[in-house]
Amino acid sequence: MKPFIIFLSISVLLFLQSCSSEEKAPSIDVYEIRNIGLLSTSEYTIGKVIKLDDNKEWYKFGDRKILISCKAKVKAGINLMELKDSSIHVNGSKITIELPPVQITVFEMDPTSVHTEMEDINGFRADFSQTDKNRILRLGEKSIREHLDETGIKKEAEKNAIAFVTDFYKQLGFEEIDVELSKAELDEK
């Protein structure tokens, strides 16, 4: 009789445990995505032509004009190390992830892709110095950075990051994956 009571008690306990609808604690595998770190999901090469027509002052005789072309390699993505424990919720085979905001991960202007396309100096004007050219390039870099949102790089990076995270968790066996943007990202839009 005693073994029957023990068997019945264990059966009832297992039955009640299986019927609970509590959210299960996520396994350590769901947090492995943080080990990826900085995930760049979109890359653009942006060209810019910078024109400078040096202002004529009354005491300067002649003109100085220059056209410089440059290219910037820009990558955007998300930093998965910023995922907090509270950003991932697991309920059985369903997982909800709140991604950190999309950011520019790389911005580089390769010096080999900077070219002086035209330089016109006449009168008694001096040539453009390397300092002048560097100042012009900084203006070009500033202009590219200011117009990044118009390129759509962040929206594309967001879309690609969501696809990557969805595939990642499908590989872990989750059937329903809901990827959301962080509140900070929604406020920017």
In order along its 189 residues, the chain shows pLDDT tens digits of 555 555 545 655 555 565 555 445 455 578 888 889 999 999 999 999 988 887 666 566 778 888 999 999 999 999 999 999 889 999 888 999 999 999 999 999 988 888 988 888 887 778 888 888 888 889 889 999 999 989 999 999 999 999 999 999 998 889 999 998 886 544 444
CA of 24: how far to CAs of 34, 93, 174, in Å?
Answer: 20, 10, 13
pLDDT (0 to 100) of residue 25:
45
pLDDT (0 to 100) of residue 184:
58
* CA-based torsion, 110, 112, 117, 118: positive or negative: positive
Alpha-carbon Rg of the chain, whole angstroms? 29
pLDDT (0 to 100) of residue 58:
55
- By DSSP bridging, strand 103-109 and strand 38-53 are unpaired
pLDDT (0 to 100) of residue 186:
43
3-state secondary structure 79-147: EHHHCCHHHEEEECCEEEEEECCCEEEEEEECHHHCEEEEEEECCCCCCCCHHHHHHHHHHHHHHHHHC
pTM, full prediction: 0.72
Question: Do the beta carbons of residue 5 and residue 112 sit within 8 Å?
Answer: no
pLDDT (0 to 100) of residue 101:
94
pLDDT (0 to 100) of residue 187:
44
CA pair distance 107, 147, nearest whole angstrom = 13
pLDDT (0 to 100) of residue 118:
87
Residue 19 three-state SS: helix
